[in-house]
A and B are shown apart, each in its own frame.
Chain A
Amino acid sequence: MKVDVRITGIGGQGILTMAKILGSALVREGKYATLIQNFDTFISGGESTADMRVSDQPIEYPVFEKADITVFMAKKTYPRYINKVKEGGIVVINSDVIDEEPKGNFTVIKVPASSIARKLGNVRASNMVMLGALVAKLSLANPEVIKELIREKFKDKADLNIKAFEEGMKIGRGI
Chain B
Amino acid sequence: MKPGKYFESGAWAAAMGALASGATFFSYYPIEPATDIAEEMVRYGPKNGLLVFEAEDEISALGAAIGASWAGAKAFTSTSGPGFSLMQEHVSYAAMTETPVVLINGMREGPSTGQATKAAQQDVMQTKWGGHGDYEVIVYAPYNTQEMFDLTVKAFNQAERWRVPAMVMADKMTILLMEEVVIPEKVEVVNRKRPKVPPEQFEPFKPEEDLVPPMPRFGDGYRVHVTGVTHNEKGVPVSDDPWVHHKLVKRLCDKIRKNRDKIVEYEVFGDEDPEVLIFAYGFPARSAKEAIKLARSKGMKAALFRPKTLWPFPDKELKEIATKAKKVIVVEWNYGQMLNEVLKVVPEEKVSFVYRIGEIPIPPESILEEGGVRI
Contacts and interface: CB of A to CB of B under 8 A. Distances in A.
A24 B4 CA distance: 12
B54 interface: no
A31 to B, nearest CB: 9
A60 B267 CA distance: 14
Interface in A3-27: 19-20, 23-24, 26-27
B289 A60 contact: yes
A104 interface: no
Nearest to A40: B117
**Looking at chain A's contact residues, is the secondary structure mostly helix, strand, loop, or mixed?**
mixed
Given A27-B5, A27-B7, A61-B363, A34 B177 contact: yes
Given A36-B176, A37-B176, A24 B286 contact: no
A35 interface: yes
B232 interface: no
B293 interface: yes
Given A59-B179, A61-B289, A62-B179, A26 B7 contact: yes
B363 A63 contact: yes
Interface of B: 5-7, 117, 173, 176-180, 286-287, 289-290, 293, 361, 363-364
Contacts of A139: none
Interface in A38-97: 41, 59-63
Contact of A23 (B7, B173, B289): B7
Interface residues of A, number: 19
Contacts of A59: 179
A170 interface: no
B128 to A, nearest CB: 28
Contacts of B363: 61, 63
A28 B286 CA distance: 23
Contacts of B286: 60-62
A41 B178 CA distance: 18
Contact of A63 (B6, B179, B180, B287): B287
Given A34-B178, A35-B7, A35-B177, 19 more contacts: A20-B7, A20-B178, A23-B178, A27-B179, A32-B179, A33-B7, A33-B178, A36-B173, A37-B178, A41-B117, A60-B287, A60-B289, A60-B290, A60-B293, A61-B287, A61-B290, A61-B363, A61-B364, A62-B177
A32 B293 CA distance: 18
Interface of A: 19-20, 23-24, 26-28, 32-37, 41, 59-63
A24 B5 CA distance: 9
Nearest to A22: B7
12 contacts: A20-B178, A23-B179, A26-B7, A34-B178, A36-B176, A59-B179, A60-B286, A60-B287, A61-B290, A61-B364, A62-B179, A63-B361
B5 A28 contact: yes
Contacts of A35: 7, 177-179
A36 B7 CA distance: 12
Contact of B6 (A24, A32, A60, A61): A24
A61 B291 CA distance: 9
A32 B364 contact: no
Contacts of A24: 6-7
Given A20-B7, A61-B286, A62-B286, A32 B176 contact: no
A35 B364 CA distance: 18
A19 B177 CA distance: 12
Contacts of B176: 36-37
Contacts of A34: 177-179
A27 B361 CA distance: 25
A34 B290 CA distance: 15
A91 B220 CA distance: 66
A23 B180 CA distance: 8
Contacts of B287: 60-61, 63
Contacts of B290: 60-61
Contacts of B178: 19-20, 23, 33-35, 37
Contacts of B179: 23, 27, 32-35, 59, 62
Nearest to B287: A61
A63 B173 CA distance: 10
Nearest to A52: B178
A32 B180 contact: yes
A35 B144 CA distance: 12
A63 B284 CA distance: 11
Q: Counting chain A CB atoms within 10 Å of each CB, which of B176, B177, B180 scores highest?
A: B180
A63 B117 CA distance: 17
Nearest to A50: B178
Contacts of B7: 20, 23-24, 26-28, 33, 35
A34 B145 CA distance: 10
B211 to A, nearest CB: 39
B145 to A, nearest CB: 9
A24 B9 CA distance: 12
A27 B364 contact: no
